[in-house]
Structure 1
Amino acid sequence: MGTQVGRIEKEFVFKSLIDNKIPLELHGNQKEFKGIIIQADDEKITIQGESQSMEDLTENDQVRAFFYFKNNYHTFNSTVLKTEGNILIVKHPEGVYKNLQRKYERIKMPEGIEVSFTLKGKKIELNFPKSSIYKEPEPPKVSKDFDISKISTLVNSFRKKMSLLVSENKIMMFRDKMPKTYDEKIIVKTGKIFWIPSTEDEFPVNDPFPDERIIIKRDLVKYEENLGTPPYIITSKLGNILYEKTKKDIFSEVFVPIIYNEYIVGYIHIYNTQENRKRITENLVDYVYQFSKVLAYALKINGYFNAEKSNEKKYEAPVIDMSASGILFSHTSPELGRELMIHTDLDLIVIIQKRKLIIGSRIMRKFQDNSVYFFGVQFLRIAPEDFRFLFEFLYGKPFMSKYENVWEGGAPPPPLEIFNE
């Protein structure tokens, strides 16, 4: 992105922008706006649009500002707080950057993009994450309850046991399906168990298990925040979820994901009706959780996952952001962390609106944060017509030849360091 300016310089920059009415170029929601800063404090910045309405931007939209100051191009990221006519109010940014060095502006990963590539005979797919965790199925301990030799026997035995303990029980698989309901989306996003001890109480605020397997209220709030739900709406939305379940005659409920590596391949759903009015206990949650691990292993050894048969190992990982010249993605698989090295070349397959783009690429950056690996990929080869299509999809405007000789925000290309002194 560039070099972050210090706190004192940052204050000076914003004062100068206001005093000298230095123009800004704002990018957000695939649109561009021009304006000046008319007011700034420690919490927010007020921008006046240049003869155009700012109301195409809405609350919680992400925006990027560019401006030229002291013979240097600068930028900052922020979040929209409010718009009214040609007035835009955004959060005070955490940082201001100068000496911009990226060819094209990065944007948050848009929906509707699928990315995959093949590396040493292994097919790796990059899409929105199935989950944020990675669990490889392990052989279960010997148990009379869990006979893994035949899937149908294992499932029938479980259903028979559950029929004596809860009102309803189901096993749902995600093969050729995408999560649709709120319950499905939250277990896919977190990889955790969605446990509602009672629809007449609040969501759990603490996880009784040491390995953090339960979705607690804080997880639900964070999930809603990431969706851009305003804070004042989140509490009422969570309450409404419980109310809707009550209307569906549900008193206590559990969704347990079935995890295979990084995939959520399905889930186990059990619940008690209002007539039954029995809370699903911690012990029963643990039993279903252990069964989900056994079922994942049984599916594996019984050939349910075709990719294993064909020597293709599939991965899915979140693409964090993307530009017309590269992508940044992350993954929790140690194997993928070992396979992908700096300067590894690969052909990316990008599918946008049913159009297939093949892009020659190279891993240029790699770093690890706890158990998560991050990979920065640079595009090296792309057909001109595919590049123009990608550019317009990402930025909401057609590519023009004048963009070839400038960097993000209109900055000139950084100097080339061909020789080292």
Structure 2
Amino acid sequence: MSVLPVVVVGAGPLGLAAAAHLMERGLDPLVLEAGSRPAAAIEQWDHVRTFSPWPELVDAAAARLLEPTGWTAHAAGFPTGREWIDDYLAPVAEALGPRVRYGARVTAVSRLGRDRLVSPGRAEAPFVVYVDGAESRIRARAVIDASGTWGQPNPAGADGVPAIGERAAAASGVLTYVPPTLPHATALAGKHVVVVGSGHSAMTAVIQLGEVARKDPSTTVTWVLRRGVSEDTFGGGTADELPQRGALGVRSREAVDDGRVALTTGFRTERIDLIVGRAVLSAEDGRSLPPADRVVVLTGFRPDLSFLSEMRIALDPILQAPVNLAGSIDPNLHSCGSVLPHGAAELAHPEPNLYIVGMKSYGRAPTFLAMTGYEQVRSIAAELAGDHEAARRVELTLPVTGVCNGAGLSDGPDGEDAGAGCCGPASSTPRPGSLSLNHFGG
């Protein structure tokens, strides 16, 4: 077992950080990335500016790995996803060299010669990680799943499963689960666009499309909420502890109040019909929306647990997060900044030496902090190296206000939002091209 690598699934921010910490501990990491480049998920929102500033987006061990190359960290500012990749994540992946393997999609994780029913000798048997089918198998001493949730968007269907016709609408290109870039939003001028979702991603898509409607009044934007309007529909507003997050609520409400966006509430999508290249959403109560040229579904994400089906994992039945962590990340009780630092102990499963980290460790909880994830992998690397005291020690101090990582505002056509971030002053003035993601794939 001691000569086998620790397999890390995913070459996003948390997967790369985990590899750096493992190397510092004298362990051999092997990062398996399904994409052709590091941070493939972030590339899909690389125009978006993060809520977190640079110092909170860089892992300490990864920074130490880069020091011999002459790399220097940004001292301030809020990077876009593209800048995060180019100025930090891609250099880390390059420094890791052949320890990162691309085009390697993990399809299953098991124990050598043992399915999940077999207990004798289980902990002593190496893991077997299947890559792109059973033809390729990699033995490992431990597995860290940092695959994130980006590839598993929640559907528009109100039951938690795709609405009737939703898959066909997605296949046609009329329906998407990806927030629009500024050029894509601009190209929708004069069209009818439906945005489904109540979180910050949906809010900022609404703001962005509302700006398109301001410039071209022939544009129609319908914002669909499953619930009715309540005190927290538009977030905390100016009272929000994160000013830029609060500003999203202020701006989205202004878009509705100004008539640029039509708000439809209590609409629980049951079916989506394609009619001459347009989509008609129908609710459980019989209501239907006018045909839409584009439907943008931003209802959050969920973990893909399929390749862990032979693993003994203990998950909260509601959040699908590790049972020892779920209570402290319940979105009804906590924001991302109020979650206590946690590590190997809270992320442990009945399957020894298997850990789920990053956004995937939060299950269906909607917010995640990069700093919290870096503390997760630091603790796990220490535990796997046998330094149990370091694994239990907390080496993270969260900002007093907390920050929600994943993305803030995207640049406008002239870079108007270049200084935007969660700790800046809230503004009620709508900004063109704004966009927000609540979380990112680890």
Structure number with greater CO (CA < 8 Å, separation at least 6) is 2
More strand per residue: 1
Q: Under TM normalisation by the shorter chain, which class is it? A: under 0.3
Q: TM-score normalized by structure 2?
A: 0.24
Q: TM-score normalized by structure 1?
A: 0.25
